[in-house]
Amino acid sequence: MTDQPKQLGGSRKMFGDFAPKLADDVLFEDVWNRPELSARDRSLITVAVLTARGNTEQLGSHLGRALENGVTQEEIIEAITHVTLYAGWPKGMSAMGVAKQLFTDNK
C-alpha cells in the first residue's frame, strides 16, 4: 500500500503561524502515511469516528479527503447511514447534513 499519494494535513495552513505545535503534521507524518492501511481505509474510518462522536466541524474537510482518497459519495452515505444505527440518530443526521451540503455544493 505504499504506492498511494502521501497524505498531508491541513492544520499547518490553518494554524501554522498562530499555533505551530498544533500545526505539526505528526498525525499525518506518523499515522496517515503508515503502510498498514490505505489512505482510503483511513478515510472511511475517520468519517465513521467523526460521525459517531458528532464532530461535524471536522467532518467536512475529511469528507473531501475521503473523496480524494477514492471513497465514493455512495460509500460515504452508506458509512454514515451504518454508523447512525450504532451512534445515534442526531449524530448521523448531522453528519449526513454535512455530506449533503458538500456533495450538492460541488455539483
- Say which residue the cell 490505505 belongs to: 38
Q: Domain limits of the chain?
A: 38-105
Q: What is the pLDDT of residues 36-89, one digit of tens each?
A: 999 999 999 999 999 999 999 999 999 999 999 999 999 999 999 999 999 999
d(CA 73, CA 44): 11
DSSP percent split of the chain into helix, strand, coil, nearest 5: 65, 0, 35
0.85 exceeded by the pTM? no
Within the chain, how many helices (H) and strands (E) appear?
A: 6, 0
Query: Which top CATH class is 38-105?
Result: mainly alpha
- Determine which of 23-27, 48-52, 95-99 has the lowest per-residue pLDDT on average: 23-27
